[in-house]
Amino acid sequence: MVLSSDSHLPGKGSHVASGGTGNSTRTAHRAGSHGREGLPRLVEQRIPGGRQVVDRFLLQVVDGSLAGVIFVVPLLMGGRHAVGQLALTALAVAAAWAWAVRRCFRSDDVWRSTPAMPLVLAGLVLVVLQTVPLPPWLLAVASPRTADLLPLWNSQAIDAASFGPWHCVSFAPAETLAGLVIFLDFAMLFFVAVQRIQNIDDVERILRWCALSAGAMAALGIVQLLTTNGKFLWFYEYPYSDTYGVAKGSFSNRNHFAQFLALGVGPMIWWLQDAMRRRHGQAAGTGASVYLVGLTLGIVLFAGLLSLSRGGMAAMLVAATVCTAVCYKTTSLGKRFIAVLAAAGVLIGVSLAIFGYDRVSNRLDDFTAGSLDELDQSAGRRTIWATTLDAIPNHSMLGTGVGSYRAIYPAYVSEPMEENSVPRYAENGPLQVALETGAVGLFLVLSGMVLCASWCVGGIRASVHTRSKLCIGAIAASLAASAAHALVDFVWYVPACMAVVVILAACAFRVRQIDGERGEGNRSRLRKDPSSLIPHFSFSRAVAAVALTCAGAWMIADRIGPAVAQLPWDEYLVARSAASIQGPKGETAALEDVETQKRWLASLENVVRWQPTHAQAHLKLVETHRRMFDLLQAASENPMSLLQISDTVFNEPQFRSHEALMEWLPRATGDHWIHLEKCVEHARRALTLSPLEGRAYVCLAELSFLWSPDRTAAHAFIAQAMRVRPFDGNVLYAAANMALLEGNEPRWREYLRQAVLCGPQLRRQIMNDRVAGAPPEKLPAVVEDILREFKPGLADAKNLYILCKSRCQPEQLAPLVRYRIERAEAETQALPNAKASEVWLEASQLRRQLGENAEAIQSVRNAVQCDSDNFNAHYHLGKCLLDAESYAEAEAQMRWCLQRKPKSEAVQNGLRQALRGRLDDERRAAKSSDGDALKR
């Protein structure tokens, strides 16, 4: 796996770089070989054999680590999974450590400086500044919005509610620290690649690695799509995604899968023309490679189309365009090269005709529509971008902290949002960088992009060597694809993709540098100082290696805990997702089962045991401990609710003393109160990790009676929660309850109206609470108020009816039934035919409940019209016609049903009833006709 067997010789790169095509290339290789026959070989003879073995081993570690980053990390969920991040860190540290140790015993290995060094150091300082505590005056300058967002943290008036001042720029310091580790990984990979790449052969080998990795990932994506069981790599169940419907490979997101393939398009096209160039030069064994590389390119493009990622398709188009243009202009194989590309296009077309043409065509039609509304039909991305743009000016200098986007975004939303709809990324690389790192970070990123562009453009313009130009073309294609896709997605935050980009950026720098080196000058310097090649121990380099060892050990240790914690966290999320998929009843059953809650608690405790900085796990522990208390308390001998307990504590003077409260609470609740202590513990821990988590403040507000003699602390917590989560459903509901306690009914109603827009689960909870808290005689008025204020949908109205029917007379719920009919008929307009048919059936049953038989028959006729194959619709139409004594038409419906289910006793009975009714009608009609005839 070594890039170049003797690439440590400084003169070799310049010799090889001077080659173009044909004889000139072979001449350059002979010249390099001749150069190695002189002084360098004599010097190597003076190196002890053991040191040569160690040197070779360390070089293999470097090369193996770089290859592992390109081939292995993408297989671990693209590096977004914690295990993938651990692998990336371990490989980056291994590469840097091996190179540092190798340099300790080599004086000929000169450190190559790069213009990127100041940018990397500045970025490192920026991220460190975001995580370390700053003096108040400096924090006020660097992040002036912090005091406005976190007034509770600086409050001195309420000791019980005060956490002490917040000192960090980052609002998620643990996430920022994790981002620092990933940043160091990329920095190590870049600088090691710069030092390791000695000649153009090394660059070409890395390009082949990138092409092979993309080809293997494309093949995996296609095979997995055709043989999927829903799990990634057929064994791993990921809670946020599955493998049905589109090609994803081992990436959790189809856009990132397509982006990784786009990064391989440039190297693949370069490899294709390189194989053709070698075949043109009559190199042995290169004929088959042309077809094999062309086939692989077709597979990569085909898999990218099957991802149905429009941004990924655009990125592949950008990469193909850039690389093809450079290759076509540089080589003399233009027509043959275009012919092979056309053959790859034909292969893609044939493959699409067999599988997936319609779906791919529909996605591509969005591009040709030329409308942003077509590309972003739900306006999801535009909403995220607009919110991010609103937040950026408030944190313009140093940002909100790397990795803090999910925490800061809800503080700037302008309308209620559902619980699971909070984005984790800005769907735009520059925007997210600007928010998380401020103007400083955005300037550094843009400077890095300009630097890479200058290496690519300068290399293409200035290079006189064909091989150099072609390599630069492939690299520029990948870098351009990354930059283009970053405008509509967060591909910069996918470690597997960015690791490849970083290594290719190092290749761009070295190609530009190698092309400008003068080989003869390098060899002359070697001959002047032969002793410089004699291995010797360097103390200063040893100190650097020790420091790198310590830093690397810290980096790996920092990623081990999250990697282990990821498995129980995914297990918990999969269990929650499975419960929600079963529908409201299944989810409710899981939430009300004590044993299920115990299993969830065990998984979450395992998460925070390995990763104490997992703020979301602490929040889920708060939620689960609270639910455990409610379940156990409801089944106890003294089933006091938490609200009743808090009212008792606040209203009874004897509980002003904390000691008296702690003496009474175990008697009132038994051992269940321990869950309340756990809630407080995990809520406070979550807030120290991320002070913008509004639900943690809500929990502390509910449990403030444990340490506060009045509701002052609760008011402070709710006010703080509203400051950081103004449109979070749970926060709004808690604020509504607080307003009700204060007697502020208008504010209570306003908060409730906003809260019900934050998801079906919260809507059900609010309606359940209002119905449960109303006496039977006032329940119809409460139902009328809910219908007027909340305007629930059909499913929520049905749930409301189920809650009320056991506590009201049927006639009292007539307005609710009427409302359900209106909602059902209105919602059918936007539903597909099969679902609309079911809704019309429900409306028919409701009309029959109100005694509106004629309207009920019309509704069920509509159900049949929407879905003529719906058995239930035909059967119910037959039943309604029987009740209306329309026997002839009822017979026709029952005969239709009997053909579908000939053994159904209900259908047979219905048909017999229809036949008897029709025959009776005919006999009555005949008698009436005979009577009329006699009269005449």
H helix intervals, 582-657:
583-591, 594-610, 615-634, 642-651
Residue 236 has phi, psi (to 5 degrees) of: -105, 120
Give the Å distances, CA to CA, from 592 to 34, 589, 606, 635.
80, 5, 22, 11
The pLDDT assigned to 28 comes to: 41
The pLDDT assigned to 265 comes to: 93
Per residue in 406-440, is it b (16+ CB within 10 Å) or e — as a string? bbbbbbbbeebbeeeeebebbbbbbbbbbbbbbeb
Q: Are 658 and 377 in contact (CB under 8 A)?
A: no
How many CB atoms within 10 Å of residue 450? 10
Task: Using alpha carbons, select from 325, 342, 330, 351 the residue that is nearest to residue 274.
Answer: 330
Tokens (6 digits) for 244 = 């049905």
pLDDT along the chain (936 residues), means of 10: 47 38 40 38 47 86 95 93 95 95 76 91 95 90 90 67 81 95 96 93 95 95 91 89 89 92 93 77 59 86 87 89 82 64 66 56 51 57 90 92 93 84 88 95 95 89 78 94 91 94 95 68 40 52 88 95 94 84 62 85 95 95 92 83 84 78 82 89 94 93 85 89 93 92 90 88 87 85 88 87 84 88 86 87 88 88 90 90 87 90 88 87 74 59
Task: Using alpha carbons, select from 569, 639, 554, 637 the residue that is nearest to residue 603.
Answer: 569
Q: Measured between alpha carbons, how far is 514 from 517 in angstroms, rounded to an integer?
A: 5
Q: What would the 3-class secondary structure string for 240-258 be?
A: CCCCCCCCCCCCCCHHHHH
Q: Which residue has the tokens 């000058």?
A: 521
Give the Å distances, CA to CA, from 795 to 308, 760, 792.
32, 9, 8
The pLDDT assigned to 23 comes to: 40
Q: Are 215 and 299 in contact (CB under 8 A)?
A: yes
The pLDDT assigned to 529 comes to: 40
Distance of CA 670 to the CA centre of its chain: 42
Q: Measured between alpha carbons, how far is 861 from 859 in angstroms, rounded to an integer?
A: 5
How many CB atoms within 10 Å of residue 519? 21
Which residues partner with 236 through β-bridges?
A: 232
The pLDDT assigned to 332 comes to: 53
DSSP output for 714-767: HHHHHHHHHHH-TT-HHHHHHHHHHHHHTT-HHHHHHHHHHHTTS-HHHHHHHH
